[in-house]
Structure 1
Amino acid sequence: MKDAFGTPQSLLVLGGTSEIALATARRLIARRTRTVWLAGRPSPALDGAAERLRGLGAEVHTVDFDALDPDSHESALGKVFAEGDVDMVLLAFGILGDQAHDERDPAGAVRVAQTNYTGAVSAGLITARSLQAQGHGSLVVLSSVAGERARRANFIYGSSKAGLDAFAQGLGDALHGTGVHVMVVRPGFVRSRMTADLEEAPFATTPEAVASAIELGLRRRSETVWVPGALRVVMSALRHLPRAVFRRLPV
C-alpha cells in the first residue's frame, strides 16, 4: 500500500530500460518504494538496470515483456500481480521511429503505432483491471506533448501518442471512483538516448525532471502532468492556431 505521503511501496515498470522510468524508480526508492518489477525484453540492459536499483536497496525482479506481443501480456503481467498488490504501474515503453524513413516504409510506421498505441492499450487494460481488482493503485502513462497536435516533422510518432493520450484519459474516466488513479504525463523534448541525434527543442527537460514531476503528481493525485509546466500554455496556443498558420511554423 502507499504510505501516508502517497509514495508507492511497490512499482511495476512497463519498459524497464526507459531512462525516465529508471529515474522515477530511483527517486521512489529513495523514499519508500521497496519492491520493483522491471518488465521488458530480456537483455543485458534490463539486467543491468535491475542490478543498479538493487544497489539502492530495493528488491528488484525482471519480467519478460514485449509490447509487440499482446497475446503474452495477460500471462506476463498476471504473474506480477499474483505475487501481491502493486501500488503503481508506470507505462513507459515507446519508440520514436524515423519519420523520413517510415513515410517510405509503412511497416516501420506500423511498428511505431503498434508499440506506442496498440501495445499500450493491451498492457494498460490488463494492469488497470488488476489494480481495480485489488482496490487501489496508480497507473502512470508516459504520453508526450507531441500528441497534442501532430506536426509535419513527426506526425507518425505524434499520432501514436495522441491515441495513447486519449486512451489513458478515457481509462481514467472509466476508473474514476474505483480507487484506481490514472495519471497522464506529457513531457516535452527529453534529453535522452532516444533523442541524442535530434536537434534540441525549446523547453527541453531531463529524465530526472520528469521523475520529479511524476512524484509530485502522485502526491497531488493529479490527472495530467506537463513537464515543464509552461508547456501547458504553449501547447494550448499551438493547438488552437488555424491550420494555415500552423503549417507555416518551423515545427
Structure 2
Amino acid sequence: MTDALALPKSLLVLGGTSEIGLATARRLIARGARTVWLAGRPSPALDRAAEDLRALGADVRTVGFDALDPAAHEAALGKVFAEGPVDLVLLAFGVLGDQAHDEREPLRAVRVAQTNYTGAVCAGLIAASALQSQGHGSLVVLSATAGERARRADFIYGSSKAGLDTFAQGLGDALYGTGVRVMVVRPAFVRTRMTAGRPREPFATTPQAVATAIELGLRRGSETVWVPGVLRLVTAALRHAPRALLRRLPL
C-alpha cells in the first residue's frame, strides 16, 4: 500500500531499461519502496538494471514485456499482479524514431506509432483494470510536450504522444472515484542515451529531474505534471499560435 504521503511501496516499470523509469525507481526506493518489477525485453541491460536496484535494498524482479506484442501484455502483467498488490504502474516505454527516415519509410513511422500509442493503450488498459480490481493504485504515463502541438521536426513522434496523452486523460476520467488515479507527465526534451547526438532543445531536462517531478506529483495528487514547470505556460502559448507563425519558427 502507499504510505501516508501517497508514495508507493511497490511499483511496476513498463519499460524496464528506461532511464526515466529507473531514475524514478531509484528515487522511490530511497523513499521507502521495497518491491520493484522491471518489465521489458529480456536482455543483459534489463538484468543489470535489476541488479543496480537490488543494491539499493529493494526486492527487484523482472518480467518479459514487449510493447509491440500486445497479445502477450495480459499474461505479463497478470504474472506481476498475481504476486501481490502493485501501488504504482509507470508506463515508461517509447521510441523517438527518426523523423527524416520515418517520413520516407512509412513502416518505420508505423513502428513508432505502434510502440508509443497502440502498445501503450493496450498495456495501460490492462494495468488500469488490475489496479481497479485491487481497489487502489496509480498509473503514471510518460507523455511529452511534443504532443501538445504538431512540429515539423518531430510530428510523427509528437502525434503518437498526442494520442497517448489524450488516452491517458480520458482513462483518468473513466477511473475517477474508483480509488485508482492516472497522472500524465509531460517532460521537455530529456537528455538520455536515446537522445544522444540530437541537438539540444530549449528547456531540456534530465531523467533525475523528471523523477523528482513524478515524486512531487504523487505527493500532491496531481493529474498533470510538466517538466520543467514553466512549460505549462510555454506550450499554452504555442498551442494557440497561428500556424503561419509556427512555420517561421525553428521548431
* Same fold at TM > 0.5: yes
SS of residue in 2 equivalent to 1:37: strand
Measure how far apart 1:141 and its partner are.
Answer: 0.1
Tell me whether 1:126 sits opposite 2:143 in the alignment.
no
Q: What residue in structure 2 maps to residue 97 of structure 1?
A: 97
Q: Deviations over 1:138-168 (max 9, x none)?
A: 0000000000001001000000000000000
Q: What residue in structure 2 maps to residue 85 of structure 1?
A: 85
The amino acid that maps onto 1:48 is R
Q: Deviations over 1:24-80 (max 9, x none)?
A: 000000011000000000000000000000000000000000000000001110010
The amino acid that maps onto 2:170 is G
Q: Deviations over 1:2-40 (max 9, x none)?
A: 011111000000000000000000000001100000000
SS of residue in 2 equivalent to 1:152: coil
Q: Output the CA distance in 1 between the equivalents of 2:150 and 2:37.
A: 33
Q: Output the CA distance in 2 between the equivalents of 1:240 and 1:13.
A: 35
Q: What residue in structure 2 maps to residue 231 of structure 1?
A: 231
Q: Output the CA distance in 2 between the equivalents of 1:247 and 1:128.
A: 39
SS of residue in 1 equivalent to 2:47: helix
Q: Output the CA distance in 1 between the equivalents of 2:241 and 2:5.
A: 40
**1:230-249 equivalences in 2 (<5 Å):** 230-249=230-249
Q: What residue in structure 2 maps to residue 75 of structure 1?
A: 75
Q: Output the CA distance in 2 between the equivalents of 1:150 and 1:227.
A: 19
Q: Output the CA distance in 1 between the equivalents of 2:227 and 2:159.
A: 19
**1:124-203 equivalences in 2 (<5 Å):** 124-203=124-203
Measure how far apart 1:246 and its partner are.
Answer: 1.1
Tell me whether 1:45 sits opposite 2:77 in the alignment.
no
Q: Output the CA distance in 1 between the equivalents of 2:236 and 2:214.
A: 21
Q: Output the CA distance in 2 between the equivalents of 1:247 and 1:165.
A: 24
Q: What residue in structure 2 maps to residue 20 of structure 1?
A: 20
SS of residue in 1 equivalent to 2:138: strand
Q: Output the CA distance in 1 between the equivalents of 2:244 and 2:43.
A: 46
Measure how far apart 1:201 and its partner are.
Answer: 0.5
Provide the TM-score with structure 2 as the length reference.
0.99
SS of residue in 2 equivalent to 1:194: helix
Moved >3 Å (runs of 4+): none
Q: Output the CA distance in 2 between the equivalents of 1:150 and 1:140.
A: 23
- Structure 2 runs not aligned, ≥5 long: none
Measure how far apart 1:242 and its partner are.
Answer: 0.8
The amino acid that maps onto 1:154 is D
Measure how far apart 1:223 and its partner are.
Answer: 0.2
The amino acid that maps onto 1:71 is A
**1:105-120 equivalences in 2 (<5 Å):** 105-120=105-120
Q: What residue in structure 1 maps to residue 35 of structure 2?
A: 35
Identical positions, percent? 79
The amino acid that maps onto 1:155 is F
- Structure 1 runs not aligned, ≥5 long: none
SS of residue in 2 equivalent to 1:177: coil
Q: Output the CA distance in 2 between the equivalents of 1:207 and 1:73.
A: 26
Q: Output the CA distance in 1 between the equivalents of 2:167 and 2:90.
A: 15
- The root-mean-square deviation of aligned C-alpha atoms, in Å, is 0.4
